[in-house]
Amino acid sequence: MTTMVHLFGGDATTSERSKELLGGKGSNLAEMASIGLPVPPGFTITTDVCAAYYANGEQFPAGLIEEVAAGIAHIEGITGKTFGDAADPLLVSVRSGARVSMPGMMDTVLNLGLNDRTVVGLSDASGDPRFAWDSYRRFVQMYADVVMGLDHAEFEEALEIAKEDRGFYLDTEMSAEDWQALVKEYQAIVERETGAPFPQEPNDQLWGAVGAVFASWESDRAKVYRRLNSIPAEWGTAVNIQAMVFGNMGDTSATGVAFTRDPATGERAWYGEWLINAQGEDVVAGIRTPQYLTKVAREKAGAKPLSMEEAMPETFEELGRVFDTLETHYRDMQDIEFTVERGTLWMLQTRSGKRTAKAALKIAVDMAAEGLITEEEAVGRVDPGALDQLLHPTLDPDAPRDVLTKGLPASPGAASGKIMFTADGAEKAAEMGEAVILVRVETSPEDIHGMHAAKGILTARGGMTSHAAVVARGMGRPCVSGAGGLSIDGNARVLRVGGRELREGDILTLDGSTGEVMAGEVKTLLPELVGDFGTLMVWADKVRRMKVRANAETPQDAQVARDFGAEGIGLCRTEHMFFDAARITAVREMILAENEAGRRAALAKLLPEQRGDFAAIFGVMAGLPVTIRLLDPPLHEFLPTREEDFADVAAAAGVGIEALKARANELHEFNPMLGHRGCRLGVTYPEIYEMQARAIFEAACDVAAETGAAPIPEVMIPLVATRREFDLMKAVVDAQAKAVFDEKGREIAYLVGTMIELPRAALMAGEIAETAEFFSFGTNDLTQTTIGISRDDAGRFLTQYVDKGIFLTDPFVSLDVEGVGQLIEIAADRGRKARPDVKLGICGEHGGDAPSIHFCEKTGLDYVSASPYRVPIARLAAAQAALKKGK
Ligand code: PEP
Ligand code: MG
């Protein structure tokens, strides 16, 4: 390890390494200082130290004490104050800062260095005893909470009682003496709870806080956030130690948070909240209602308290200049924290601001238009996964709605679901497949799992930068915050609003774009790719190499996919086509038939239906490739399982109940996913695949004759393990093609290929490609067969596997590049050696997952296929992957 401590304004740069080492917050503070912005002096303990701390059995590495002491001396030199000095003490903040911002996850201690002696010095030096004692009580409470792990409710209760005893309502009514008395009480609580007096030695306080920052990296809520965001545990956090500046030194002091553009809409307008005479945490904690930054915003909201623009015009102008400097320097929208101490502006933080998908698109497109970034950079600026929030239905403006109240439009999108009042309740209900709206007075980091499980989040308190708002925007969950008209009784599990009562389980609809809260479910509309979204997609398509197809099995799905820009169908599953009431009987007749002739008779009934299915899809996908997979699931899936259904089914299929039960019994398998399914059905009952192939070619010829646009069928054989299996099935398909083309007097170009879903198929790909014209990686099955974890049962234990770091992410969501990825690479290589133009695609769920798409680009696949609503995500991710590979 080199130096463990880096001074702000020193040698830090914008490099990735600097972010890795100093964390996001630390490297940005260092950088702001180096471009001449007003940053209180300070230093960062690197993330390497955190890693070493854990590697050392939670011991600080040798030499750290000396380096930190030198850092403190550096701050003392600039401020002219001394740490622990009884006359004019230096106070510091201690804050965590990981490589990527983890909102609300890590802990902060302010005013560190105060003790029974230095508080008097602070009082004298500031000439404001009330401020000094207020700062001290805040410090004791924060330190007790964050460092000592005591319950903050006890301290809040003591404050409430202190106010009640004095007949006060607001904190501002408390005098210096009142705060001083409360500090004594707080210290007594600490002593009672820990058995030791509150630490008086500033250095002890400092090391306690540093240890607490490191410990919070391994807190449960940080672990959950890391799991949800795929952040490796090894990264660790940095610790930032910085001279305190005070926003609570009277009416010329203030504190605030701001975005250089509107994080909800992306509009180019300064956006933020501030409070006069307050300390940083007051703005985000939702205790006092923050005020507007600009006059326009205040007037628009019809709010009374003056905006910063009106109350502190000069400082506001300076802040505006800082915004411009930051945007030009970082070339991105910034999220900042600032403090004004007696008229002097200080920057406490800047980072790339979290934004809604809508804002991300607008900011990227606008910044390209402003010449701040290039079109390609704009393409790289939008997180493909975040587009999900725009690709879901919004409320139909014409649908009737029963509006209960209105809150702040904290995170856009609409959602309906059952009311749940606790995060655990929301998680449980979601696991049962319920759509849930999490309803809380306000949220805290402890609620994060419930927020993730919910379709939407509603809070009674908190502003646009409250925890709920920030986290919901990051997750893409619709959120209405600060709905003051609600009264929530979490214990009784009721919500009261405008004289009405709703209980847990009642349906609620939220519109995060307007802030409306409605009773019952409201009709929704499908999204469209217009405006900035459309523009960015055009730019993305310019740089994209891989094609993007859709997994679709109905004409409706196919149309949605086309509207979202799909360039064909990568997987048309055929099994669901057989569940239609009119068809399932014929399917069952086929399954129950005693011989081939019986099966053929039943299949003949299915042929026209199946031909109609394909014709409709070919019509939508005119001129584009359509990959149709022949029947895949084990046949027992088509038979009834419930006792009460047997009689009806038997009657419909023309057999006795006993015969039906006997057949169901015969078809029972211990491991159906490894059983009689996929091409194994085609091998034993070739007439099934014959019928399907005939339906495909008849439909293709008919559509070509009608429209003049010949479809491009790609017939896909599932679950192949050996070349011989494939060859047998290909012969069936080719024979039908020839027969149909002869009958129709027309030829259609088509391909026959296979899914690669089994490790053996991947390894034998060279041989299989001698006859197979394309491979489509069925990574759902390939993941299950490679890892040997059932895709249907994995949910029960996979979260633990991710928590324990066995998998970085769920391998059924994001491709296991190391393991399953190797098989894909081997198959692609061997396949291409045998057949240089073998077409390669992916049709497992991973085809819509951005990191997996990067892998596909790296491996040189020709296309990815995703579910229709994920097609735009796949287009953008494929473009970003191409840009990355190009670099
Ligand atoms: C797959 O296995 O990846 C696949 C696409 O097929 P299915 O999900 O239908 O098994
Ligand atoms: Mg499969």
Angle ∠(146,147,149) on CA atoms, nearest 5: 70
Distance between CA atoms of 372 and 558, rounded to whole angstroms? 38
C-alpha span between 673 and 632 (Å, rounded): 10
Residue the block writes with tokens 């250095």: 203
Together in a domain, 218 and 346: no
Q: Pick the ligand that lies closest to the CA of residue 777.
A: 1
Residues 134 and 272 occupy one common structural domain:
no
Residue 738, C-beta contacts closer than 8 angstroms, at least 6 positions apart: none
- 479, 679, 843, 856: the active-site residue: 843
Residue 789's contacts (CB-CB under 8 Å, 6 or more residues apart) are 783, 798, 811
User: Phi then psi for 804, rounded to 5 degrees?
Assistant: -85, 5
User: What's the mean pLDDT in 871-887?
Assistant: 95
Residues 859, 828: contact at Cβ < 8 Å? yes
Residues 233 and 275 in one domain: no
Q: Whose CA is nearest to atom 10 of ligand 1?
A: 781
Pocket test for ligand 1, best of 549, 576, 632, 781 (most atoms within 8 A of CB): 781
Q: Which of 446-455, 505-514, 612-621, 799-808 has the least mean pLDDT?
A: 799-808
Judge if 624 and 734 occupy the same domain: yes
Choose which residue among 780, 812, 814, 824 to substitute to test ligand 1 binding: the one with the highest number of ligand atoms within 8 A of its C-beta: 780
pLDDT > 70: what percent of the chain?
Answer: 97
The binding-site residues of ligand 1, defined as CB within 6 angstroms of any ligand atom, are 571, 573, 632, 757, 778-781, 843-844
Contact 206, 241 (CB under 8 A): yes
Residues 401 and 480 in one domain: yes
Q: How many domains is the chain partitioned into structurally? A: 4
pTM for the structure as a whole: 0.77
Give the CATH number of the domain where residue 422 resides: 3.50.30.10
Cβ atoms within 10 Å of 531's Cβ, excluding its own: 12
- Give the number of the atom of ligand 1 that is nearest the alpha carbon of residue 757: 2
Q: Is residue 49 part of a domain?
A: yes
Residues 239 and 260 in one domain: no
* Residue 647 lies inside a defined structural domain of this protein: no
Q: Which two tokens stand for residue 34?
A: 């180096």
If you average pLDDT over residues 314-324, what whole number do you get? 96
272 & 226 share domain = no
Select which of 449, 452, 467, 854 is catalytic: 467
Q: CATH no. for residue 130?
A: 3.30.1490.20
597 within domain boundaries: no
Closest CA to 431 of 795, 790, 780: 795
Which of 575, 627, 754, 757 for a ligand 1 pocket mutation test, highest count of atoms within 8 Å of Cβ?
A: 757
Cα(755) to centroid of ligand 1, in Å? Answer: 9
- Residue 288 in tokens: 């006092």
Q: How confident is the model at residue 175 (pLDDT cuts 50, 70, 90)?
A: very high
Would you say residue 14 has pLDDT above 60?
Answer: no
Q: Most confidently modeled of 393-407, 457-471, 744-758?
A: 744-758
**Dihedrals phi, psi of 793, to nearest 5 degrees:** -110, -10
Q: In the numeric block, which tokens belong to residue 703?
A: 């559509």
Q: How many angstroms separate the alpha carbon of residue 576 from the centre of ligand 1?
A: 13
Residue nearest to atom 4 of ligand 1 (CA): 778
Beta-bridge partners for 756: 777
Q: What is the atom index within ligand 1 of the atom nearest the CA of 573?
A: 9
Say if 657 falls within a structural domain: no
Does one domain contain both 234 and 261?
no
* Helix pair angle (16-34, 47-55), 10° resolution: 130
Q: How many residues does the chain have?
A: 887
Binding site for Mg(2+), residues?
757, 781
d(CA 122, CA 105): 31
Final residue before a domain boundary, out of 243, 273, 305:
243
Could you identify the atom of ligand 1 that is nearest to the CA of residue 718?
6
Q: Tell me if 490 is assigned to some domain.
A: yes
CA distance 130 to 179: 7
Beta bridge partners of 479: 411, 457
| Other beta carbons within 10 Å of 117 | 14
**Ligand 1 centroid, distance to 845 Cα (angstroms):** 8
Residue 1, pLDDT > 50, answer no
Question: Nearest CA to 469 among 446, 444, 489, 491?
Answer: 444
CATH number at residue 289: 3.30.470.20
Identify the nearest ligand to the CA of 631 by its number: 1
The residue range of the domain holding 406 is 392-525
- Choose between 644 and 312: higher pLDDT: 312
Query: How far does the centroid of ligand 2 lie from the alpha carbon of residue 871, in Å?
Result: 20
pLDDT in tens, 788-819: 998 888 877 887 888 788 888 889 889 999 99
Q: Is 6 a catalytic residue?
A: no
Query: Closest Cα to atom 8, ligand 1: which residue?
Result: 780
Rg (CA), the chain: 32
pLDDT at 797: 85
Q: Kindly report the backbone phi and psi dihedral angles of residue 23, in degrees, each rounded to the nearest multiple of 5, phi listed first.
A: 75, 165
Whether 467 is a known active-site residue: answer yes
Mean pLDDT of the chain, nearest integer: 91
Q: Is residue 367 part of a domain?
A: no
- pLDDT greater at residue 514 or residue 704: 704
Residue 645 confidence (pLDDT) above 90: no
The rounded Å distance from CA 607 to ligand 1 centre is 24
Question: Rounded to 5 degrees, what angle do the CA atoms 517, 521, 524 make?
Answer: 95
82 CA from centroid of ligand 1 (Å)? 66
754-781 mean pLDDT: 98
Known binding residues for substrate are: 573, 629, 757, 778-781
Decide: 628 and 776 in contact? Cβ < 8 Å.
Answer: no
Are the C-beta atoms of 280 and 294 separated by less than 8 Å? no
Give the integer Cα–Cα distance in Å for 865 and 847. Answer: 5
Nearest to 782 by CA among 693, 861, 877, 678: 678
Query: Range with the lowest mean pLDDT among 352-366, 753-767, 821-835?
Result: 352-366
The residue whose CA has the least distance to atom 1 of ligand 1 is 778
- Ligand 2 center to 691 CA (angstroms): 21
What single DSSP character describes residue 373? S
Distance CA 579, CA 865 (A): 24
**Co-location of 239 and 298 in the same domain:** no
Contacts of 139 (CB under 8 A, 6+ apart): 109, 110, 111, 112, 114
Q: Distance between CA 679 and CA 692 in Å, rounded?
A: 13
Q: What is each CA distance from 839 to 22, 398, 512, 866, in whole angstroms?
A: 46, 46, 43, 17
Atom of ligand 1 nearest to the CA of 777: 3
Q: Check whether residue 504 and residue 406 sit in a common domain.
A: yes
List pLDDT tens digits, range 53-75.
999 899 999 999 999 999 999 99
Domain presence at residue 867:
yes
Domain final position from 221, 243, 265? 243
- 111-169 pLDDT, tens digit per residue, is 999 999 999 999 999 999 999 999 999 999 999 998 998 998 999 999 999 999 999 98
pLDDT grade for 11, boundaries at 50, 70 and 90:
low
- Considering the domain architecture, whether residues 831 and 708 belong to the same structural domain is answered as yes
Residue 68 in domain: yes
- The CATH number covering residue 788 comes to 3.20.20.60
Q: Are 239 and 261 in a shared domain?
A: no
Q: How confident is the model at residue 12 (pLDDT cuts 50, 70, 90)?
A: very low
What tens digit of pLDDT does each residue of 445-481 get?
Answer: 778 889 989 999 999 987 776 778 877 865 668 999 8
